[in-house]
Amino acid sequence: MAADPTYDENELLQAVVKGDETAFRELMSRYWDKMYSNILYHCKQQELAEELTQDLFVTVWQKREQLPQIRQFDAWLYTIAKNLVLGAFRKKVLPLLDADTFDPLFHDDGLTGVDLLELKELHSVLNNEIAQLPPQLQRAFTLHRIQGLSHDEVAAQMNISRFSSQTYVARATIMLRAALSKYSGKAGFNFFMLFL
């Protein structure tokens, strides 16, 4: 990207710290391609690279209060990206389960009746929270994370740009993580966070 004499990254980061979503989208647009290319180089899988790049910016949003203490924003981004790639290599990523396959998965895992009730509750909470997302975010998230469409396919179906698809899914993920965070003590919480 060519240098922009009017661009002030510190000013943009300060706006993000204050929760300015427009500034956050601008930050994403400036760094998305560079970080995606870096992650793809290391993981060699296009769809995984897209997911991890999205997770990278979700992490930035969640940790935005730390931004004033960060001296080199791009170096911080690369550190988060490296940790996400390493984490992906260590973690088995499971498909999002529908109601028909959800219960049987846990029947033989030694979970108590209370644990199973909590898992069902979290499954219901997740579905309810998805249903309450703004329409564009809900549709993009459902198409990409639940139905497994690529961002290009989501963009084509929704008649939006690929970057808009990425942004919608990232924003939906931030909202869903925030909604589920109050259930962090319940059985299966980490299981559901694999999807977000």
Q: Where are the domains of the chain?
A: 9-90, 99-193
Give me the CATH code for the 9-90 domain, please: 1.10.1740.10
Give me the CATH code for the 99-193 domain, please: 1.10.10.10
Query: Which has the closest alpha carbon to 115: 178, 194, 191, 195?
Result: 191
pLDDT of residue 186: 62
Residues with Cβ within 8 Å of residue 119, at least 6 apart in sequence: 102, 106, 111, 186, 187, 188, 191
Taking only the tens place, the pLDDT of each residue in 4-63 is 555 688 899 999 999 999 999 999 999 999 999 988 888 778 888 888 999 999 999 999
Could you tell me if 177 and 169 are in contact, meaning their C-beta atoms sit under 8 angstroms apart? no
DSSP type of residue 67: G
pLDDT band with cut points at 50, 70 and 90 for residue 98: very low
- Indicate whether this model's pTM tops 0.85: no
Could you tell me if 50 and 166 are in contact, meaning their C-beta atoms sit under 8 angstroms apart? yes
- Alpha-carbon distance of 24 to 181, in angstroms, equals 21
Q: Within 10 A of 1 (CB to CB), how many other CB atoms are there?
A: 9
Q: Considering only residues 101 and 139, tell me which one the structure prediction assigns the higher pLDDT.
A: 139
Indicate the SS3 state at residue 56: helix
> Residue 97: is its pLDDT beyond 60?
no
Question: Fold match between 9-90 and 99-193?
Answer: no
pLDDT of residue 101: 41
Q: State mean pLDDT over 149-156.
A: 90
Q: State mean pLDDT over 136-151.
A: 87
pLDDT of residue 116: 56
Q: State mean pLDDT over 59-77.
A: 91
- Alpha-carbon distance of 127 to 196, in angstroms, equals 13
